[in-house]
Amino acid sequence: MKHDDNQTKSDDTLQTKGRQATYLEVSRNLEEQVRNGHYPPGSRLPPQRDLAVELGINVSTVSRAYKELQARGLIVASKRRGSIVTGGAMPVVNTPAQRNAPGEPPGNGVIDLTVNRPATGEFVAQLARTMAAIARDPRFAETQEYQPPQGPDWARAAGAQWIAAPGFTPSPDNLVVTSGAQHALYAVLSSLMGHEGVILSDKLTYYGLKALAPVFQFELVGIPSDDDGLLPEHLEEACKRLRVKAIFTVPNLQNPGVVTMSLERRAALVDIARRHHIAIIEDDVYGPLLRKRLPTIASLCPELTFHIASTSKILAPGLRIGYLLTPPHGAALAAEAVRTTAWMPAPLSMLIATRWIEDGTAHTILEAQREELQARQALARELLPADLLKSDPACMFVWLRVPEPWRSDDFAANALARGVNTMPASAFAVDRSTTEHGVRINLACATSREQLSRALQILSRTLRDRPRALFGTI
């Protein structure tokens, strides 16, 4: 096998299991080598034909494995340069043991700004108080039993309360409790199976949706957008030209572009969906961070909209509870997807989330989060160039455009070499058409404001530098 100059044969050279590797086995082994640094950001994977010969498998199997890695955002393909490791795929989340105490330097020398997580420790403090008292809750005994796949009535009522917004009072009858927002998205896509067509989204979209594309074998088509959201004329044209299954949107604090869709654009999207009889998937996990919220798309078009919310982004990733509001009569089908994938949401997590929504603890954690995010957003505006920055005081992340001659993958690789890990545009790109070059910076991921300040200063200095070939010729 041919290798880059920096790559040599080693004990962790790709090995396959069984007599012949499947494309999934190949992709999993390659992903492991990318994540452990054997193929660092900016390096090339082996040519497909060379790897096929080494493993004794068909080139088509290797090609399929590479497409799987590309769908996950781990690599980008280039006719001239081959398959390049981006360093910006779905992040590997640090465990508590790996995280550093506030103000301490990172143990591996890298400050990770890739994960959307709460910025404060309020969750842990509140959880300690709750665990000391939860046994006295009359619903506590139910946690040892199997639950309905859609969740018990009390959990669905709390979910409806969590989703509610001014002018929007959803019915628990149309709500399904899931194990997080990604599980809810899986349930939605499972509900839409059998409906031929593509899914429309922003050109830079949530990478969890990208990860499900090969699972359900649907095509994602990117739609241009501006500071008000998806452009209606492009949505309309796509709906006329293609057989569209659904329109996916993050209307509040869009990930990664930090755009909150205007009311006019929401109304236009609803009008298009109604005229073409197309489902809408409204991923609103960041909505509660906004103090003033526009009407939800689900309130404007309840008959077509799947509305997703969760506790993971706002309260803590460890509280894996999601809430899926379906169109009327759609809850049973979504609940079936929950039953076949997880049988039921985790009862103890449901009870904790329910108590916190009922007694106001969730709001207390949310307020602490809002205050810390506002301070961190101020740091970003102070330390990063204003003309390149997209931000919002309520958002957990910012979008930093990178000017020429930078490309997003090159900038992310250079920043990582200097000790800061970010998410480049390639991790979110729906296709390989021309997209804005930039990186998402997760402000809440830093262990302290001091650590965040150091990281942002490094990124600012990197912007003022030029791209450098860090891993051999690429």
CATH number for the domain including 440?
3.90.1150.10
Which of 359, 389, 422 is where one domain is finished? 359
pLDDT tens for the 474 residues of the chain, in order: 444 444 433 333 444 444 344 688 888 888 878 876 678 766 788 999 989 888 888 888 888 888 888 766 678 776 666 887 764 444 444 444 344 433 334 445 799 999 888 888 889 899 999 999 999 999 999 999 999 999 999 999 999 999 998 889 999 999 999 999 999 999 999 988 766 789 999 999 998 998 888 888 889 999 999 999 999 999 999 999 999 999 999 999 999 999 999 999 999 999 999 999 999 999 999 999 999 999 999 999 999 999 999 998 889 988 999 999 999 999 999 999 999 999 999 999 999 999 999 999 999 999 999 999 999 999 999 999 999 999 999 999 999 999 999 999 999 999 999 999 999 998 899 987 767 899 999 999 999 999 999 999 999 999 998 887 654 433
User: Is there a single domain that holds both residue 170 and residue 315?
Assistant: yes
CATH number at residue 62: 1.10.10.10
End-to-end CA distance of the chain: 17
Output the DSSP codes for 284-309. Answer: -TTGGG-SS-PPPHHHH-TTTEEEEE
DSSP summary character for residue 168: B
CATH number, residue 268: 3.40.640.10
Instruction: Count the helices and strands in the chain (H runs, E runs).
Output: 15, 17
Among candidate residues 286, 303, 287, the one with its CA nearest the CA of residue 295: 287
**What is the identity of the amino acid at 293?**
R
Query: Cα(335)–Cα(316) distance, rounded to whole angstroms?
Result: 24
Kindly state the tokens that stand for 13: 């050279």
Residues 339 and 368 in one domain: no
Q: Is the same domain home to 195 and 337? A: yes
Instruction: Return phi, psi of residue 391, to 5°.
Output: -145, 170
Domain of residue 222, residue span: 138-359
